[in-house]
Amino acid sequence: MRVLFDRLARAVLAAAAALGLASVGFAAQATAVPVRLADTGLFADAKSGRLASDVLAYSPQYPLWTDGAAKRRWIRLPPGASIDASNPDRWVFPVGTKLWKEFAFERRVETRYMELRADGEWNFATYAWSVDGREATLAPLRGTKGAHTLADGTRYDLPSQADCRACHETHPSRVLGFSALQLSSDRDPLAPHAAPPSTDDVDLRKLVELGLVRGLPSEFVSTPPRIAARTPRERAALGYLHGNCAACHNSSGPLAKLGFGLEQTLGVPRESNVVLRSTVDVVGNWRPRAGEACARVASGSPETSLVVTRMSSREPLAQMPPFGTRRVDDDALRLIAAWIREDLSRRPAKPTFDPVPPLVISKD
pLDDT tens string 308-332 = 999 999 998 899 998 889 999 999 9
Q: What is the pLDDT of residues 3-30, one digit of tens each?
A: 444 444 444 444 443 333 333 334 444 4
Together in a domain, 19 and 144 = yes
Q: Which of 88-97, 125-134, 196-205, 353-362 has the lowest mean pLDDT?
A: 353-362
Together in a domain, 33 and 77 = yes
pLDDT at 356 over 80: no
Together in a domain, 208 and 86 = yes
Together in a domain, 211 and 286 = no
Together in a domain, 204 and 243 = no
End-to-end CA distance of the chain: 18
Together in a domain, 237 and 205 = no
Q: Using CA atoms, how far apart are residues 25 and 260, in angstroms rounded to an integer?
A: 30
3-state secondary structure of 268: coil
Q: Which of 222, 254, 288 is the last residue before a domain boundary?
A: 222
What's residue 221's pLDDT? 93
Q: Which amino acid is it at 101? A: K
What's residue 346's pLDDT? 62
Q: What is the mean pLDDT of residues 152-179?
A: 90
- Note whether residue 83 is domain-resident: yes
- Note whether residue 268 is domain-resident: yes
Together in a domain, 250 and 172 = no
Q: Which of 170, 194, 222 is the last residue before a domain boundary?
A: 222
- Note whether residue 56 is domain-resident: yes
What's residue 355's pLDDT? 41
- Note whether residue 315 is domain-resident: yes
Q: Which of 196, 184, 188 is nearest to 222 (CA)?
A: 184
Q: What is the pLDDT of residues 137-162, one digit of tens each?
A: 999 999 999 999 999 999 999 999 88
Q: What is the pTM of this model?
A: 0.86
- Domain range for 112 is 2-222
- Note whether residue 35 is domain-resident: yes
Q: Which of 199, 215, 206, 216 is nearest to 183 (CA)?
A: 206
- Note whether residue 154 is domain-resident: yes
Q: Using CA atoms, how far apart are residues 113 and 128, in angstroms rounded to an integer?
A: 11
Together in a domain, 117 and 168 = yes
- Note whether residue 227 is domain-resident: no
Q: In the predicted model, what is the mean pLDDT of the chain?
A: 87
What's residue 226's pLDDT? 95
Split into its structural domains, the chain has a count of: 2
* 277 touches 350 (CB < 8 A): no
Together in a domain, 241 and 259 = yes
Together in a domain, 30 and 117 = yes
Together in a domain, 217 and 239 = no
Q: Which of 198, 222, 246 is the last residue before a domain boundary?
A: 222
3-state secondary structure 57-97: EECCCCCCCCCCCEEEEEEECCCCCCEECCCCCCCECCCCC
What's residue 41's pLDDT? 97
pLDDT band of residue 271 (cuts 50, 70, 90) is low
What's residue 342's pLDDT? 96
Q: Using CA atoms, how far apart are residues 37 and 46, in angstroms rounded to an integer?
A: 9
- Note whether residue 244 is domain-resident: yes
Which are the contacts of 80, defined by CB distance < 8 A and separation ≥ 6?
none
Q: What is the pLDDT of residues 178-224, one digit of tens each?
A: 999 999 999 999 999 999 999 999 999 999 999 999 999 999 999 99
Q: Using CA atoms, how far apart are residues 330 and 161, in angstroms rounded to an integer?
A: 28
Together in a domain, 236 and 121 = no
pLDDT band of residue 268 (cuts 50, 70, 90) is low
Exposure b/e, 332-354, CB count within 10 A at least 16 = b? bbebbbebbbebbeeeeeeeeeb
What's residue 319's pLDDT? 93
